Amino acid sequence: MLYVEILGNLPEMARDEVKAMLELAGGRTAGQDYLFLKIEAGGEAFPYLNRLGLAHEYGELIVEADSVDELLEKARGVEWPIKGTFKVDTETMANCRHNVLDLPRKLGAVIHAQGFRVNLSRPDTLVRVYCGEKVYAGIRLRYFDPKDFEGRKAHHRPFFRPISLHPRVSRALVNLTKAKRELLDPMMGAGGILMEAGFLGLKVYGVDIRPEMVEGAEMNLRHYGVRDYELKLGDATRLEELFDKKFEAVATDPPYGTSATLAGRRRDELYRKVLESIYGVLEPGGRLAIAFPADFDGKAEAERAGFELVGRYYQRVHKSLERYFYVFEK
């Protein structure tokens, strides 16, 4: 059994991102306790879990219990797969119902009694305790370092536009499409979504209506080492004229506002046409992940274009921008 700790700012989107990856890997979620997901999957799921954007870490779940005493009792009965030295770390989640103050020391003693040495400053193995409705102990296998994503935030890129999604969110959008081979962003801007897809080894296709964006996105992709791309100057409402192929997956973040990014179009009309155009170039069964401001009924409009809603996630960006991320299937 594995576990994933998801991030708390878009929890439902984070949970569904994990589910999408497990669908590709042939595993499933076996339970949830606040931000802690229990996963039924073997090592073959690691490459897919490694793709996650909205996760804090994943690991091997070793014991699960209804009380601290039961956890310690069970911990005595298992052989801990510790490599080198270890340390016990506790995550007290907002719904924690147990007193876990003393647990790191007590669990540490149990594991120490099996012959493993503690190293608090540089442990080789991190034993993670999670307190929620229940208590869990596991071994961290992968930590998603925020620095890896922060370094790709818009202002660090050679071509900078303040319109980009956070790289973790871009990554999650890509994953929610369940793309395995390729991804199209028909309104790519500075290429933030394409960068995340490119890192996953997907072939990326991008379109923007402004020449400086096409140049800028290419600069960014090259800077971060993404090489397998095809970028075009063009209109997202006429994708069938731009490509003579269909796509496995599409993810995009259309312009929201009043600014020049709408290229002179009326916003809602642009969104409707873009939805129809994307529908036209998606493979049957292919998925679209897309963001719309909250005052646009993305579900109704996408259904009108022929899509089926798979998921919808609310985010308040600031006082004057609330949006939904949608996942649709053709």
Ligand X SMILES: C[S@@+](CC[C@H](N)C(=O)[O-])C[C@H]1O[C@@H](n2cnc3c(N)ncnc32)[C@H](O)[C@@H]1O
C-beta separation of 328 from 280 below 8 A: no
Q: Name residues contacting ligand X, limited to 263-292 (CB under 6 A).
A: 263
| 213 binding ligand X? (CB under 6 A) | yes
In the bound state with ligand X, the residue whose beta carbon lies nearer, of 186 and 286, is 186
Of 58-66, 92-100, 128-136, 234-242: span binding ligand X (CB under 6 A):
234-242
Among 87, 98, 103, 164, binds ligand X (CB under 6 A): 164
Give the shortest CB-111-to-ligand X separation in angstroms: 44
- Taking CB under 6 A as the criterion, which residues in 33-52 touch ligand X? none
Is there binding between residue 207 and ligand X (CB under 6 A)? yes
Helix (H, G, I), strand (E, B) or coil at 143: strand
Residue 118 is given by DSSP the state B
By CB under 6 A, tell whether 196 contacts ligand X.
Answer: no
Binding of ligand X at residue 156 (CB under 6 A)? Answer: no
Q: What is the CA radius of gyration of the chain?
A: 22
Give the residue from 215, 207, 183 showing the smallest Cα distance to 196: 183
| Of the candidates 269, 205, 274, 204, the residue with the CA atom closest to the CA atom of residue 236 | 274
Size of interface with ligand X, in residues (CB under 6 A)? 26
Residue from 16, 182, 208, 276 in contact with ligand X (CB under 6 A): 208
* Residues 143, 5: Cα–Cα separation, whole Å: 10
Continuous H helices in the chain: 11-25, 46-49, 68-76, 103-112, 146-150, 167-176, 192-199, 211-223, 239-242, 267-281, 298-305
Q: How many CA atoms lie within 13 A of 307 on its CB side?
A: 30
- Judged by beta carbon, residue 62 or residue 221, the one nearer ligand X is 221
Q: Give the interface segment with ligand X, choosing from 60-68, 92-100, 122-130, 209-217 (CB under 6 A).
A: 209-217
Residues in contact with ligand X by CB under 6 A are: 161, 163-165, 186-193, 207-210, 213, 235-237, 253-255, 261-263
